[in-house]
Chains A and B, each alone.
Chain A
Amino acid sequence: MSKILQVKDLELSFHTFAGEVKAIRGVNFDLNKGETLAIVGESGSGKSVTTKSIMRLLPESSSEFKNGEILFDGKDLTKLPEREMQKIRGKDISMIFQDPMTSLNPTMTIGKQIMEPILKHQKVSKAKARKVAIELLNMVGIPNAENRYKMYPHQFSGGQRQRIVIATALACNPQILIADEPTTALDVTIQAQILELMKDIQKKIDTSIIFITHDLGVVANVADRVAVMYGGMIVEIGTVDEIFYNPQHPYTWGLLSSMPSMDVNEEKLYAIPGTPPDLLNPPKGDAFALRSEYALKIDMEQPPPFFRVSDTHYAATWLLHPQAPQVEPPSGIIERMRTFPGSRYYEATGGRA
């Protein structure tokens, strides 16, 4: 599989009145052609900032790349001039935002909004662009596109608007589609429809998708690989099966345990104690240590490196160090691991494999 995007050691800070907020503190990941990578994590973990920095949509006045590179098509996006960036945005990399109610311009017809990237990036006539726009509307399932093309956003429902935003993002057949919580603002039935639509489209135009969400149910549905972010860093990355059935990082355990499940009859849903770290003064060691019941002494002093679990699966926790004591994950997680070939609980009945 060819790598289409590589993020290496990315560090980014915001300059605020209170001081420097280290929003991204060393993020590494690759995106392969045609795959869907989900980035999960709680609010403030840096998932949106990471993707916005790929698109360079953060305010230049207050944000600063401190280190690292974002390689796309042989170019380092962190150093590209704004003009060059404009040629990439909407053409090679495009984006879908969280709230379809606010992400369309209320005073512009949807047709114009869909045509905008086409006219901007491709040398085509208006009539041709219009035809493409109507095709796109048909593709994303807006009925009667020829007539509705001239309507304004307020004449569409929330789900339809998100379809329109998706159509706009696909206008130039982008190589990478970044979806920043595209289903969060929609109700559940519409969520399912939008997810189906995105999967269909990915098959049709073979684009890579970075899917940001905090909904693990959505992740299981769409993703090929999952990166778990916490405190401005990726703490665990692997295929969707590896993350769901052989998680290694205590934070991933916490996330999975706090997911409502049909199989478990517990009355109270698990919640991770404490609050996310203050990135104005990031903790010295493992950012999750203070909230983790599995924290070791070294977690307070040194941030853990990535330990290899498999060729596709890495986790940043000292628990994977050869000298670390063996700890028992929460019982729900052990249940999951039992079904995963290669995990230490596989086929065993409570002991170690």
Chain B
Amino acid sequence: MVKYVGKRIIYMFITMFLIATATFFLMQTLPGSPISSYNKLNDNQKAIVEKKYGIDKPKPVQYAIYMKNLAKGDLGTSFAFKGKSVNDLLASRIKPSFILGAQAMVFGTIIGILLGMIAALKQNTFWDYGSTFFAILGISIPSFVFATLLQYFVASQWHLLPVGLWNDGWKSSILPSIALAMGPLALSARFIRTEMIEVMGSDYITLAKAKGANGFEIAFKHAFRNALIPLITVLGPVAAGLVTGSLVVEQIFAIPGIGEQFVSSIMVNDFATIMGTTLFFSAFLIVVIFIVDILYGVIDPRIRLSGGKA
């Protein structure tokens, strides 16, 4: 297990290195430069600014400097936010994004799993069709449409919750979390339904029934854990979907999160911030996938991780 985790961590660093390199050079192909909007400056002044931020140097040198700083954990200085370091910028904005993401993930998967279980156990009944309909809605309606609908009805018409911003504490997080949760909710519901139906048809479920187990014991003690395995696989990418989904949802609800900052930094060619945010997202995703792989072994004894003690 220790050996496995060590190996995985080394791989994670290699992945991060590759992502950083790819993003750095891809970013250079963006049209314009961070100072192309500084119209009031003359060429001399532009040269001074370029020198200050180090973007006058040849690309390979810039890359080397960036990677050196990155190794120290320094993401550089933002061009757009007047000398603020990207580390500080991210740190101040992680909290709302993280709260939204975590709430959406927990809410979405729990409700989704419940819906999926109901659909599977009451197959081909009203409950099944209702849950399926709900899940299809969740998959097909883009989060921004859903977010707008929530804003219109819950906030603006019924005045139950704030329309946007991050000023009312937990209350502000409810609507954006629900909007974000629709994706994972629908996905979990579909996955659990399919898996439960398959697992419920397997021999060991018949055997459990033959042992005298009742419906509840069969569904939760025997079937659920086995139906969960494929869902765990997709939850990693779903978590990633939440992060990218939050780009849009944070914009709509005007939430000062990472997603909102990411979008605006691309608009103004803020190289350092784009790099920093991309790397943060990547690191997040890589860690989630790692956790998922560990969870696998916890749920399914057949894939307990080898290496070291078996």
Contacts and interface: CB of A to CB of B under 8 A. Distances in A.
Given A105-B204, A107-B301, A120 B212 contact: yes
Q: Which of A99, A102, A103 has the most CB of B within 10 A?
A: A103
Nearest to B199: A105
Nearest to B209: A57
B211 interface: yes
Nearest to B299: A107
A55 B202 contact: no
Nearest to A114: B211
Interface in A87-101: 87-91, 94-95, 97-99
Contacts of A121: 212
Nearest to A154: B302
A130 B206 CA distance: 23
Interface in B197-221: 202-204, 206-214, 221
Contacts, number: 72
Contact of B222 (A94, A102, A108): A108
Nearest to B224: A107
Contact of B213 (A55, A86, A102): A86
B213 A57 contact: no
Nearest to B202: A102
Interface string A100-128: 00111111100000001100110000000
B217 to A, nearest CB: 8
Contacts of B226: 105-107
Contacts of A97: 203, 206-207
Given A106-B302, A107-B301, A152-B301, A94 B211 contact: yes
Interface residues of B, number: 20
Contacts of A89: 209-212
B125 to A, nearest CB: 10
B207 A165 contact: yes
Contact of A90 (B206, B211, B225, B302): B211
A247 B304 CA distance: 55
A116 B301 contact: no
Contact of A102 (B204, B209, B210): B204
A87 B225 CA distance: 25
A86 B214 contact: yes
A168 interface: yes
Contact of B300 (A98, A104, A107): A107
Given A102-B204, A107-B225, A108-B222, A94 B300 contact: no
Contact of A95 (B207, B299, B302): B207
A277 to B, nearest CB: 26
A177 to B, nearest CB: 11
A103 B208 CA distance: 9
Given A107-B225, A107-B226, A108-B222, A57 B210 contact: yes
Given A86-B214, A120-B211, A106 B206 contact: no
A171 B211 CA distance: 9
B209 A99 contact: no
B301 A87 contact: no
Nearest to A93: B210
Contact of B210 (A55, A105, A108, A152): A55
| Most interface-central of B203, B225, B300 (chain A CB within 10 A) | B203
B203 A99 contact: yes
A171 B213 CA distance: 14
B23 to A, nearest CB: 40
Contacts of A103: 203-204, 206-207
A102 B203 contact: yes
Nearest to A56: B209
Contacts of B204: 102-106
A57 B206 contact: yes
Interface string B61-85: 0000000000000000000000000
A46 B27 CA distance: 69
Contacts of B214: 83, 86
A91 B207 contact: no
B219 to A, nearest CB: 13
B232 to A, nearest CB: 12
Given A95-B207, A103-B204, A90 B301 contact: no
B212 A91 contact: yes
Contacts of A108: 221-222, 225
A105 B301 contact: no
Most buried by A among B202, B209, B210: B210
Nearest to A88: B212
A303 B265 CA distance: 85
Interface in A131-157: 152, 154
10 tightest Cβ-Cβ pairs between the two chains A and B: A90-B212, A90-B211, A152-B301, A102-B203, A89-B212, A103-B203, A95-B210, A117-B211, A105-B204, A107-B225
Interface of B: 202-204, 206-214, 221-222, 225-226, 299-302
Interface of A: 55, 57, 83, 86-91, 94-95, 97-99, 102-108, 116-117, 120-121, 152, 154, 165, 168, 171
17 contacts: A57-B209, A87-B212, A90-B210, A95-B207, A95-B210, A97-B207, A104-B204, A104-B207, A106-B204, A106-B301, A107-B225, A107-B300, A108-B221, A108-B222, A117-B211, A154-B301, A171-B211
